[in-house]
């Protein structure tokens, strides 16, 4: 399907009847030519023309059957295709850089009123979106699976989690942002955490609903307006996510802009106050450099090359189970996927056998098919990158224990490699694909040295039976998040944080939420008792 977005003379793209986003959204108002003959959109009155949508409309997007063309010119569109089949899933209108000043002006107008609300008032407005995510989990999950390739069960779960955890997340943010009173007997200081202004949230394609959620909600709760730029690989998912929130938020507070690198650079260079980004290390470095000229606030979650260390006393079966799942989940397209496995040589044979046995059970296919566990790469470029890494490693002497060839279309067959060393690109450059890379080591010291031999430092995992030994190894790893006999995610309230070149700032948890706000103190003389 093709959505036609229109750019008005005043600048910006209109959302009929509620103007909640910066482009013509996935919900198009109007049900007949007569109703749409003339309408007012976001404060503009314009003549309208009506056209009928084609049969390829995805019902998950809630289109009413008519699109409205408003104003002078139709924009170019950004098409989105199913990575498993190549079929067109839908399209959105591109936002051009020239539209950003008008969108920014609108965001600042909306932000002023939003910032004047109390934390509880913001919480109550945002919380109204929770049941909407639950109601649309199946339709949005189906869209996500078609657009990105993720198995549909995981896709539905991703959407559902946004609603299920929203109340607890908002409560945590209220607590994190509530003013604190500090007194030392002479001075009374109130520490406020005030809005920064307008936040640019630039999000990736691998979790195209959860990643916007992780950045947009804390930015809003801190009193900011948000310009959301979802990945050009998954624009429909980003738009569908924003549509839910725009139903409960004031117009203009959350706006979506669609485009690729040119728009991203223009957004970073625009008059935003905070840039929150999740994506590659190279893109993050560019954003940090571009933002530095105006000293803009930046929160960057970047790539990883996560190691798994399997100690000599580890439970082989449990370690193998984790290794396979964390290497193949979401086709390896997870920032904290296991990309390097260092296993003690005393149990390496048994571990490799267990990994191969489990890997052979994983079912690959289009994510929209029930029972599929491994979908496609998001696009041909990513598929070629992963296959080239595999082929290069094999040419350099790596052994293929499972998979390794037979890749068709955008699919990469889940692969297990052994006999690797750090001269190979696959142990140095982020893979982001379904490949388990096994390296044998002779000691804990060797495992730690190799695990830390990387510019990345997002996550790491240690498997071992002796808690003290495993904890000692974990404390030596140069990662922001380390799991022992489990994944890297922490308890409720923990930040999501990368070390080294995997992050600049962080988000989630009390301290992460505070990075979306400006700390400000107001101090006065403290009255003495009885004075």
Domains by residue range for the chain, with CATH: 1-77 (no CATH), 115-302+498-524 (3.40.605.10), 306-493 (3.40.309.10)
Tell me what pLDDT residue 388 has.
Answer: 98
State the sign of the Cα–Cα–Cα–Cα dihedral 90, 367, 135, 278: negative
Is 60's pLDDT higher than 50? Answer: no
User: What residue spans of 247-335 are helical by DSSP H?
Assistant: 261-269, 281-292, 316-328
Q: What is the mean pLDDT of residues 431-458?
A: 98
Name the maximum alpha-carbon separation found in the chain.
Answer: 84
Angle (CA) 449-452-455 rounded to 5° is 145
More confidently predicted of 480 and 59? 480
Is 37's pLDDT higher than 60? Answer: no
pLDDT in tens, 114-129: 999 999 999 999 999 9
Contact present, 46 and 7 (Cβ < 8 Å):
no
More confidently predicted of 70 and 175? 175
Contact present, 279 and 245 (Cβ < 8 Å):
no
CA distance linking residue 93 with residue 5, whole number of Å: 5
Q: What is the mean pLDDT of residues 446-451?
A: 98
Percent of the chain residues topping a pLDDT of 70: 85
Contact present, 306 and 435 (Cβ < 8 Å):
no
CA distance linking residue 497 with residue 299, whole number of Å: 10
Tell me what pLDDT residue 44 has.
Answer: 24
Q: What is the mean pLDDT of residues 488-507?
A: 96
Residue 100, Ramachandran bin (φ over 0: left; ψ between -120 and 50: alpha; else beta): alpha
Q: What is the mean pLDDT of residues 484-488?
A: 98
> pLDDT averaged over the chain?
88
Q: What is the mean pLDDT of residues 383-398?
A: 98
> Measuring CA to CA, which residue among 150, 140, 122, 135 is closest to residue 225?
122
Q: How confident is the model at residue 518 (pLDDT cuts 50, 70, 90)?
A: very high
- Predicted TM-score (pTM) of this structure: 0.87
User: What residue spans of 149-180 are helical by DSSP H?
Assistant: 152-164, 166-177
CA distance linking residue 347 with residue 326, whole number of Å: 20
Tell me what pLDDT residue 41 has.
Answer: 25
Tell me what pLDDT residue 529 has.
Answer: 60
Q: What is the mean pLDDT of residues 183-196?
A: 97
Q: How confident is the model at residue 458 (pLDDT cuts 50, 70, 90)?
A: very high
CA distance linking residue 115 with residue 111, whole number of Å: 6
Q: What is the 3-state secondary structure (H, E, C) of 451-470?
A: HCCCCCCCEEEEECCCHHHH
> Measuring CA to CA, which residue among 259, 254, 258 is closest to residue 244?
254
Is 18's pLDDT higher than 90? Answer: no
Tell me what pLDDT residue 528 has.
Answer: 66
Is 473's pLDDT higher than 90? Answer: yes
CA distance linking residue 231 with residue 237, whole number of Å: 9
Q: How confident is the model at residue 527 (pLDDT cuts 50, 70, 90)?
A: confident
Phi, psi of 447 (to 5 degrees): -60, -45
User: Would you please indicate which residues are annotated as catalytic (active-site) residues?
Assistant: 301, 335
CA distance linking residue 6 with residue 94, whole number of Å: 10
pLDDT in tens, 198-237: 999 999 999 999 999 999 999 999 999 999 999 999 999 9
Please state, as a whole number, how many other Cβ atoms lie within 10 Å of the Cβ of residue 36.
Answer: 22
More confidently predicted of 23 and 221? 221
Tell me what pLDDT residue 215 has.
Answer: 98
Is 282's pLDDT higher than 90? Answer: yes
């Amino acid at each position: 399907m093709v959505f036609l977005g229109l750019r008005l003379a005043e600048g910006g793209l209109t959302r009929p009847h509620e103007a909640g986003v910066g482009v013509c959204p996935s919900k198009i108002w109007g049900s007949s030519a007569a109703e749409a003959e003339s309408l007012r959109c976001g404060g503009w009155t314009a003549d309208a023309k009506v056209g009928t949508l084609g049969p390829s409309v995805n019902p998950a997007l809630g289109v009413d059957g008519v699109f409205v063309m408003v104003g002078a010119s139709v924009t170019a569109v950004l098409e989105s295709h199913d990575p498993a089949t190549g079929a067109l899933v839908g399209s959105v209108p591109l936002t051009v850089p020239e539209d950003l000043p008008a969108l920014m002006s609108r965001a600042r107008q909306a932000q002023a009123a939003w910032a004047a609300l109390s934390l509880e008032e913001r919480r109550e407005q945002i919380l109204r979106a929770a049941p909407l995510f639950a109601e649309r989990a199946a339709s949005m999950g189906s869209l996500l699976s078609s657009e990105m390739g993720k198995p549909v069960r995981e896709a539905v779960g991703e959407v559902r989690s946004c609603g299920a955890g929203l109340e607890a997340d908002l409560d945590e943010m209220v607590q994190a942002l509530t003013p604190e009173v500090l007194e030392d007997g002479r001075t009374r200081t109130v520490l406020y955490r005030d809005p920064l202004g307008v936040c640019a949230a630039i999000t990736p394609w691998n979790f195209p609903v959860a990643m916007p959620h992780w950045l947009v909600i804390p930015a809003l709760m801190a009193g900011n307006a948000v310009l959301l730029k979802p990945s050009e690989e998954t624009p429909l998912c980003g738009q569908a996510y924003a549509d839910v929130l725009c139903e409960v938020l004031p117009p203009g507070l959350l706006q979506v802009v669609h485009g690729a690198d040119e728009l991203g650079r223009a957004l970073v260079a625009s008059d935003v106050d905070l840039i929150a980004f999740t994506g590659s290390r190279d893109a993050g470095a560019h954003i940090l450099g571009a933002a530095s000229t105006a000293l803009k606030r930046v929160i960057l979650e970047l790539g990883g090359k996560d190691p798994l260390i399997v100690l000599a006393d580890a439970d082989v079966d449990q370690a193998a189970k984790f290794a396979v799942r964390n290497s193949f989940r979401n086709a390896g397209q997870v920032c904290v996927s296991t990309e390097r496995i260092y296993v003690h040589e005393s149990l390496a044979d048994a571990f490799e056998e267990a990994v191969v046995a489990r890997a052979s059970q994983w079912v690959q296919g289009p994510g929209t098919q029930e029972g599929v566990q491994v979908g496609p790469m998001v696009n041909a470029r990513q598929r070629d990158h992963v296959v080239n890494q595999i082929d290069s490693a094999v040419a350099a002497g790596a052994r293929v224990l499972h998979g390794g060839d037979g890749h068709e279309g955008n699919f990469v067959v889940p692969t297990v490699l052994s006999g690797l060393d750090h001269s190979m690109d696959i142990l140095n450059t982020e893979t982001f694909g379904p490949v388990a890379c096994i390296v044998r080591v002779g000691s804990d010291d060797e495992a730690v040295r190799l695990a830390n031999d990387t510019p990345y430092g997002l996550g790491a995992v240690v498997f071992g039976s002796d808690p003290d030994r495993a904890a000692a190894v974990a404390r030596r790893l140069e990662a922001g998040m380390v799991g022992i006999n489990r994944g890297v995610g922490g308890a409720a309230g923990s930040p999501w944080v990368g070390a080294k070149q995997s992050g600049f700032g962080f988000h989630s948890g009390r301290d992460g939420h505070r990075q979306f706000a400006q700390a400000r103190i107001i101090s006065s003389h403290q009255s003495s008792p009885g004075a």
